Amino acid sequence: MEGPIATEVHVLKIRILVPVVAFVLAAAGPLVAHHSFAAEFDDQKPIKATGVVTKVEWQNPHVWFYVDVKDENGKVTNWGFAGGAPGQLMRRGISNKAIQPGMIITVEGFRAKDGSNNASGGRVTFADGRNVFTAGSEDRTPDAKK
Amino acid sequence: MRKLAAFLLAASAVAQAPVTPQPVGSMIELMRDVIYPTSDAIFYIQRNPPKNDQEWNALRGTALTLAESGNLLMMPSRARDQGDWMRDAKLLVDTATDAWKAAQAKDVNAIAALNDRLYTACVTCHEQYRPGYRKRL
Protein backbone atom coordinates (compact mmCIF):
# COMPACT_ATOMS: atom_id res chain seq x y z
CA MET A 1 0.00 0.00 0.00
CA GLU A 2 1.10 3.48 -0.71
CA GLY A 3 0.69 6.37 1.68
CA PRO A 4 -1.83 9.14 1.26
CA ILE A 5 -2.21 10.11 -2.34
CA ALA A 6 -1.39 13.51 -3.69
CA THR A 7 -4.15 16.01 -3.47
CA GLU A 8 -3.37 17.81 -6.68
CA VAL A 9 -6.13 17.05 -9.11
CA HIS A 10 -3.85 16.72 -12.08
CA VAL A 11 -1.21 14.57 -10.47
CA LEU A 12 -2.81 11.37 -11.54
CA LYS A 13 -1.26 8.19 -12.58
CA ILE A 14 -2.10 4.69 -13.46
CA ARG A 15 0.02 1.69 -12.98
CA ILE A 16 -0.60 -1.77 -14.16
CA LEU A 17 1.05 -4.04 -11.63
CA VAL A 18 3.09 -7.06 -12.53
CA PRO A 19 0.90 -10.15 -12.30
CA VAL A 20 1.78 -11.92 -9.07
CA VAL A 21 -1.35 -13.79 -8.23
CA ALA A 22 -0.95 -17.09 -10.05
CA PHE A 23 -1.54 -19.04 -6.89
CA VAL A 24 -4.88 -17.33 -6.46
CA LEU A 25 -5.97 -18.90 -9.71
CA ALA A 26 -4.88 -22.27 -8.47
CA ALA A 27 -6.89 -21.80 -5.32
CA ALA A 28 -10.00 -20.65 -7.11
CA GLY A 29 -12.54 -23.21 -8.17
CA PRO A 30 -14.52 -22.98 -11.38
CA LEU A 31 -16.80 -20.00 -11.18
CA VAL A 32 -18.57 -18.95 -14.31
CA ALA A 33 -22.01 -17.74 -13.50
CA HIS A 34 -24.27 -14.78 -13.10
CA HIS A 35 -22.25 -11.62 -12.49
CA SER A 36 -19.26 -13.63 -11.36
CA PHE A 37 -15.85 -12.14 -10.93
CA ALA A 38 -14.23 -14.89 -13.01
CA ALA A 39 -16.53 -14.28 -15.96
CA GLU A 40 -15.77 -10.59 -16.17
CA PHE A 41 -12.36 -9.86 -14.70
CA ASP A 42 -8.86 -11.18 -15.17
CA ASP A 43 -7.03 -11.83 -11.93
CA GLN A 44 -3.79 -11.95 -13.89
CA LYS A 45 -4.19 -8.25 -14.66
CA PRO A 46 -4.22 -6.23 -11.45
CA ILE A 47 -4.70 -2.51 -11.74
CA LYS A 48 -4.01 0.37 -9.39
CA ALA A 49 -5.33 3.71 -10.57
CA THR A 50 -5.60 7.15 -9.06
CA GLY A 51 -7.96 9.78 -10.36
CA VAL A 52 -11.03 11.93 -9.98
CA VAL A 53 -14.43 10.31 -9.49
CA THR A 54 -16.79 11.38 -12.28
CA LYS A 55 -19.91 9.31 -11.59
CA VAL A 56 -21.29 6.77 -9.13
CA GLU A 57 -24.04 4.23 -9.91
CA TRP A 58 -25.31 2.95 -6.58
CA GLN A 59 -27.45 0.00 -7.61
CA ASN A 60 -27.73 -3.77 -7.68
CA PRO A 61 -26.17 -6.06 -8.54
CA HIS A 62 -22.95 -4.03 -8.51
CA VAL A 63 -22.12 -0.49 -7.52
CA TRP A 64 -20.13 1.13 -10.32
CA PHE A 65 -17.95 4.19 -9.95
CA TYR A 66 -16.12 5.96 -12.73
CA VAL A 67 -12.75 7.64 -12.43
CA ASP A 68 -10.86 9.93 -14.78
CA VAL A 69 -7.30 8.65 -14.76
CA LYS A 70 -4.40 10.53 -16.36
CA ASP A 71 -1.52 8.47 -17.66
CA GLU A 72 2.13 9.48 -17.79
CA ASN A 73 1.59 11.16 -21.16
CA GLY A 74 -1.23 13.27 -19.85
CA LYS A 75 -3.98 11.35 -21.60
CA VAL A 76 -7.13 11.07 -19.49
CA THR A 77 -9.14 7.85 -19.61
CA ASN A 78 -12.42 7.26 -17.83
CA TRP A 79 -12.28 3.92 -16.02
CA GLY A 80 -15.32 2.10 -14.65
CA PHE A 81 -14.92 0.04 -11.48
CA ALA A 82 -17.44 -2.54 -10.28
CA GLY A 83 -17.85 -3.02 -6.56
CA GLY A 84 -20.12 -5.18 -4.47
CA ALA A 85 -23.86 -4.81 -4.10
CA PRO A 86 -25.13 -1.73 -2.24
CA GLY A 87 -26.36 -3.89 0.62
CA GLN A 88 -22.97 -5.57 0.98
CA LEU A 89 -21.15 -2.25 1.09
CA MET A 90 -23.60 -0.73 3.54
CA ARG A 91 -23.09 -3.65 5.90
CA ARG A 92 -19.40 -2.69 5.90
CA GLY A 93 -20.31 0.86 6.80
CA ILE A 94 -19.89 2.23 3.28
CA SER A 95 -22.85 4.43 2.46
CA ASN A 96 -23.89 5.79 -0.89
CA LYS A 97 -22.21 9.06 0.14
CA ALA A 98 -18.79 7.48 0.66
CA ILE A 99 -17.65 7.92 -2.92
CA GLN A 100 -18.72 11.17 -4.53
CA PRO A 101 -17.98 12.82 -7.88
CA GLY A 102 -15.00 15.15 -7.58
CA MET A 103 -13.18 13.02 -5.00
CA ILE A 104 -9.66 11.84 -5.68
CA ILE A 105 -9.34 8.16 -5.00
CA THR A 106 -6.98 5.29 -5.64
CA VAL A 107 -8.64 2.06 -6.73
CA GLU A 108 -7.10 -1.39 -6.68
CA GLY A 109 -8.70 -4.21 -8.58
CA PHE A 110 -8.43 -6.31 -11.72
CA ARG A 111 -9.00 -5.39 -15.35
CA ALA A 112 -11.95 -6.62 -17.40
CA LYS A 113 -11.34 -9.60 -19.64
CA ASP A 114 -12.93 -7.85 -22.61
CA GLY A 115 -10.16 -5.27 -22.79
CA SER A 116 -12.47 -2.38 -22.01
CA ASN A 117 -11.65 0.37 -19.55
CA ASN A 118 -13.54 -1.48 -16.85
CA ALA A 119 -12.19 -3.23 -13.79
CA SER A 120 -13.22 -4.69 -10.50
CA GLY A 121 -12.96 -2.20 -7.68
CA GLY A 122 -11.56 -4.15 -4.80
CA ARG A 123 -10.31 -1.42 -2.56
CA VAL A 124 -10.61 2.35 -2.56
CA THR A 125 -8.14 4.64 -0.79
CA PHE A 126 -9.20 8.21 -0.14
CA ALA A 127 -7.05 11.33 -0.18
CA ASP A 128 -6.72 11.27 3.62
CA GLY A 129 -5.32 7.74 3.57
CA ARG A 130 -8.46 5.95 4.71
CA ASN A 131 -9.36 2.93 2.66
CA VAL A 132 -12.47 0.86 2.25
CA PHE A 133 -13.03 -2.58 0.84
CA THR A 134 -15.48 -2.20 -2.03
CA ALA A 135 -15.40 -5.61 -3.71
CA GLY A 136 -18.24 -8.07 -3.64
CA SER A 137 -17.70 -10.73 -1.03
CA GLU A 138 -17.17 -13.38 -3.68
CA ASP A 139 -14.69 -11.28 -5.67
CA ARG A 140 -10.97 -11.64 -5.61
CA THR A 141 -8.94 -8.69 -4.46
CA PRO A 142 -5.41 -7.48 -5.13
CA ASP A 143 -4.23 -8.47 -1.68
CA ALA A 144 -5.96 -11.86 -1.61
CA LYS A 145 -2.54 -13.53 -1.63
CA LYS A 146 -1.63 -12.05 1.73
CA MET B 1 -52.96 -52.05 -48.26
CA ARG B 2 -51.57 -53.86 -45.23
CA LYS B 3 -48.30 -51.96 -45.58
CA LEU B 4 -50.15 -48.68 -45.67
CA ALA B 5 -52.11 -49.61 -42.57
CA ALA B 6 -48.93 -50.63 -40.77
CA PHE B 7 -47.26 -47.40 -41.77
CA LEU B 8 -50.18 -45.32 -40.55
CA LEU B 9 -50.25 -47.27 -37.31
CA ALA B 10 -46.53 -46.69 -36.75
CA ALA B 11 -46.82 -43.03 -37.63
CA SER B 12 -49.70 -42.67 -35.21
CA ALA B 13 -47.66 -44.26 -32.44
CA VAL B 14 -44.78 -41.88 -33.08
CA ALA B 15 -47.12 -38.93 -33.13
CA GLN B 16 -48.59 -39.94 -29.78
CA ALA B 17 -45.24 -40.53 -28.03
CA PRO B 18 -44.84 -37.99 -25.24
CA VAL B 19 -42.35 -35.25 -25.98
CA THR B 20 -40.50 -34.01 -22.93
CA PRO B 21 -38.54 -30.75 -22.95
CA GLN B 22 -34.80 -31.27 -22.90
CA PRO B 23 -32.21 -28.61 -22.02
CA VAL B 24 -30.01 -27.45 -24.87
CA GLY B 25 -27.41 -25.51 -22.94
CA SER B 26 -25.85 -26.24 -19.56
CA MET B 27 -26.83 -24.27 -16.48
CA ILE B 28 -23.68 -22.22 -16.81
CA GLU B 29 -24.44 -21.42 -20.44
CA LEU B 30 -28.02 -20.49 -19.62
CA MET B 31 -26.81 -18.14 -16.91
CA ARG B 32 -23.90 -16.64 -18.81
CA ASP B 33 -25.49 -16.27 -22.22
CA VAL B 34 -29.16 -15.64 -21.43
CA ILE B 35 -29.92 -14.65 -17.85
CA TYR B 36 -26.81 -12.57 -17.23
CA PRO B 37 -27.11 -10.17 -20.19
CA THR B 38 -30.90 -9.91 -20.05
CA SER B 39 -30.96 -9.20 -16.33
CA ASP B 40 -28.26 -6.58 -16.75
CA ALA B 41 -30.49 -4.78 -19.21
CA ILE B 42 -33.06 -4.51 -16.43
CA PHE B 43 -30.63 -3.86 -13.57
CA TYR B 44 -28.88 -1.02 -15.39
CA ILE B 45 -31.89 0.44 -17.17
CA GLN B 46 -31.02 3.93 -15.98
CA ARG B 47 -27.56 3.73 -17.49
CA ASN B 48 -28.84 3.58 -21.05
CA PRO B 49 -32.63 4.02 -21.09
CA PRO B 50 -34.32 3.32 -24.43
CA LYS B 51 -34.44 6.40 -26.60
CA ASN B 52 -36.82 5.33 -29.37
CA ASP B 53 -39.37 2.68 -30.33
CA GLN B 54 -36.71 0.40 -31.74
CA GLU B 55 -34.82 0.34 -28.45
CA TRP B 56 -38.03 -0.16 -26.47
CA ASN B 57 -38.91 -3.08 -28.72
CA ALA B 58 -35.50 -4.59 -28.04
CA LEU B 59 -35.89 -4.14 -24.29
CA ARG B 60 -39.36 -5.66 -24.40
CA GLY B 61 -37.89 -8.75 -26.03
CA THR B 62 -35.07 -8.82 -23.52
CA ALA B 63 -37.46 -8.71 -20.57
CA LEU B 64 -39.60 -11.44 -22.09
CA THR B 65 -36.51 -13.59 -22.63
CA LEU B 66 -35.55 -13.12 -18.99
CA ALA B 67 -39.05 -14.05 -17.82
CA GLU B 68 -39.11 -17.16 -19.97
CA SER B 69 -35.64 -18.13 -18.76
CA GLY B 70 -37.15 -18.48 -15.31
CA ASN B 71 -39.45 -21.13 -16.80
CA LEU B 72 -36.40 -22.85 -18.27
CA LEU B 73 -34.93 -23.03 -14.78
CA MET B 74 -38.06 -24.87 -13.68
CA MET B 75 -37.71 -27.61 -16.29
CA PRO B 76 -37.66 -31.03 -14.62
CA SER B 77 -34.10 -31.71 -15.70
CA ARG B 78 -32.87 -28.36 -14.34
CA ALA B 79 -34.87 -27.95 -11.14
CA ARG B 80 -32.84 -28.99 -8.11
CA ASP B 81 -35.94 -29.47 -6.02
CA GLN B 82 -39.61 -28.60 -5.96
CA GLY B 83 -39.36 -26.20 -3.04
CA ASP B 84 -36.97 -23.27 -2.77
CA TRP B 85 -35.63 -23.70 -6.29
CA MET B 86 -39.07 -23.38 -7.82
CA ARG B 87 -39.96 -20.48 -5.55
CA ASP B 88 -36.81 -18.56 -6.54
CA ALA B 89 -37.34 -19.27 -10.23
CA LYS B 90 -40.96 -18.16 -9.93
CA LEU B 91 -39.80 -14.88 -8.40
CA LEU B 92 -37.56 -14.39 -11.42
CA VAL B 93 -40.46 -15.11 -13.77
CA ASP B 94 -42.79 -12.75 -11.93
CA THR B 95 -40.28 -9.92 -11.65
CA ALA B 96 -39.20 -10.15 -15.26
CA THR B 97 -42.84 -10.34 -16.32
CA ASP B 98 -43.40 -7.05 -14.55
CA ALA B 99 -40.36 -5.67 -16.36
CA TRP B 100 -41.84 -6.90 -19.64
CA LYS B 101 -45.13 -5.11 -18.88
CA ALA B 102 -43.25 -1.96 -17.90
CA ALA B 103 -41.31 -2.14 -21.15
CA GLN B 104 -44.59 -2.39 -23.01
CA ALA B 105 -45.66 0.77 -21.19
CA LYS B 106 -42.24 2.35 -21.88
CA ASP B 107 -41.89 3.12 -18.19
CA VAL B 108 -38.21 3.44 -17.19
CA ASN B 109 -39.00 4.23 -13.57
CA ALA B 110 -41.17 1.14 -13.20
CA ILE B 111 -38.34 -1.01 -14.52
CA ALA B 112 -35.80 0.66 -12.24
CA ALA B 113 -38.10 0.00 -9.28
CA LEU B 114 -37.76 -3.74 -9.92
CA ASN B 115 -34.02 -3.64 -9.19
CA ASP B 116 -34.15 -4.91 -5.60
CA ARG B 117 -36.72 -7.59 -6.39
CA LEU B 118 -34.72 -8.91 -9.30
CA TYR B 119 -31.56 -8.88 -7.19
CA THR B 120 -33.35 -10.84 -4.48
CA ALA B 121 -34.45 -13.45 -7.00
CA CYS B 122 -30.86 -13.91 -8.17
CA VAL B 123 -29.05 -13.77 -4.85
CA THR B 124 -31.48 -15.90 -2.86
CA CYS B 125 -31.05 -18.71 -5.35
CA HIS B 126 -27.28 -18.26 -5.67
CA GLU B 127 -26.78 -18.32 -1.92
CA GLN B 128 -28.47 -21.69 -1.68
CA TYR B 129 -27.48 -23.42 -4.88
CA ARG B 130 -24.38 -21.84 -6.45
CA PRO B 131 -21.24 -23.57 -5.20
CA GLY B 132 -18.85 -21.25 -3.42
CA TYR B 133 -21.09 -18.21 -3.72
CA ARG B 134 -20.06 -15.57 -1.19
CA LYS B 135 -17.76 -17.99 0.54
CA ARG B 136 -14.58 -16.94 -1.21
CA LEU B 137 -13.27 -14.40 1.29
- Is the four-CA dihedral B88, B113, B109, A94 of positive or negative sign? negative
Structure confidence at residue A74 (pLDDT) = 93
Find chain A residues with C-beta within 8 A of B122's C-beta. 34-35, 61
Residues 82-101 of B with CB under 8 A from A: none
Smallest Cβ–Cβ distance between A34 and the set B36, B116, B134 belongs to B36
Q: What is the pLDDT of residues B100-124, one digit of tens each?
A: 999 999 999 999 999 999 999 999 9
Q: Which architecture characterizes domain B24-129 according to CATH?
A: Up-down Bundle (1.20)
Q: What is the pLDDT of residues B1-49, one digit of tens each?
A: 677 777 777 777 666 788 888 999 999 999 999 999 999 999 999 998 9
Structure confidence at residue A104 (pLDDT) = 97
B116 touches chain A (CB under 8 A): yes
Average pLDDT over all residues of chain A? 76
Q: What is the pLDDT of residues B42-81, one digit of tens each?
A: 999 999 899 999 999 999 999 999 999 999 999 999 999 9
Residue A36 lies in a domain: yes
Using H for helix, E for strand and C for coil, what is the string for A77-125? EEEEEECCCHHHHHHCCCCCCCCCCCCEEEEEEEEECCCCCEEECCEEE
Residues 58-117 of A with CB under 8 A from B: 59-61, 85
The CB-side HSE value for B101 (13 A sphere, CA atoms) comes to 8
In angstroms, what separates the C-alpha of B68 from chain A's closest C-alpha? 17
Amino acid type, A31: L
- Contact across the interface for A139 and B130, Cβ inside 8 Å: no
- Contact across the interface for A61 and B122, Cβ inside 8 Å: yes
Smallest Cβ–Cβ distance between B43 and the set A29, A32, A60 belongs to A60
- Contact across the interface for B119 and A32, Cβ inside 8 Å: no
Please state the pTM of the whole predicted model.
0.74
Residue A60 lies in a domain: yes
- Segments making up each domain of chain B, as ranges: 24-129
Answer yes or no: is pLDDT of A83 > 80: yes
Smallest Cβ–Cβ distance between B136 and the set A39, A57, A138 belongs to A138
Answer yes or no: is pLDDT of A12 > 60: no
Structure confidence at residue B107 (pLDDT) = 98
Residue A27 lies in a domain: yes
Residue A139 lies in a domain: no
Q: Which residue range is the domain that position A117 belongs to?
A: 14-133
Residue A31 lies in a domain: yes
Closest chain B residue to A87 measured between Cα atoms?
Answer: B116
Answer yes or no: is pLDDT of A22 > 70: no
Residue A6 lies in a domain: no
- Contact across the interface for A57 and B119, Cβ inside 8 Å: no
Angstrom distance (rounded) from CA A128 to CA A73: 26
Structure confidence at residue A97 (pLDDT) = 92
Question: Which CATH number do you get for residue A49?
Answer: 2.40.50.140
Total domain count, chain A: 1
Cβ neighbours of residue B105 closer than 8 Å, sequence gap 6 or more:
none
